[in-house]
Amino acid sequence: MTKTLKIAAVLSIVAACGAGLATAGDEAQGKKWKKGQGWEAFVKTFDGNSDSKITKDEMLAKHPGFDLMDSNKDGVVAQDEVKAMPASTKHPNFQSFVARFDGDKDGKVTMDEFNAARAKAFDKIDRNADGFVEQSEFTPDAQKQLS
């Protein structure tokens, strides 16, 4: 995975790898995203069968950002792991990751907690309830759900 894609994945993991945080990560590197690139990164990361639609199963099957933040590979992201990420000092969304996804409020995020939040976000974004997120549903509001 390229460095830019890893950054996009990490920044957008917070729910489902949306472009809202991906934009912040590239801006930190002096890049500006253009309209549509958020969708492109989302599809490139999660579209397992290359049909330009993302199913909930496709999205939940991949979690590159979570995996990158889980630096000790114990299946849990703790606040100290988030703080160790270089982007955490520049982007408040990183700092709030544990607070946002820690369902049982034990100070860490498990994959189950993370995926539960991502599944809820997917359901909100899938406006026509057809089981797919397509580019037309990937609006700025949808990206906020995913970030």
pLDDT at 96: 87
**14 has pLDDT over 80:** no
* Per-residue pLDDT tens digits for 27-76: 434 445 454 468 888 999 999 999 999 999 999 999 988 998 999 999 99
Distances, alpha carbon 33 to alpha carbons 10, 20, 40, 41, in Å = 16, 10, 11, 11
**Whether this model's pTM surpasses 0.75:** no
pLDDT at 16: 37
**Residue ranges of domains in the chain:** 3-145
pLDDT at 107: 93
The pLDDT-based confidence of 10 (bands split at 50, 70, 90) is very low
What percent of the chain clears pLDDT 90, i.e. is strictly above it? 51
Beta bridge partners of 78: 108
What is the rounded average pLDDT of the residues 134-141? Answer: 89
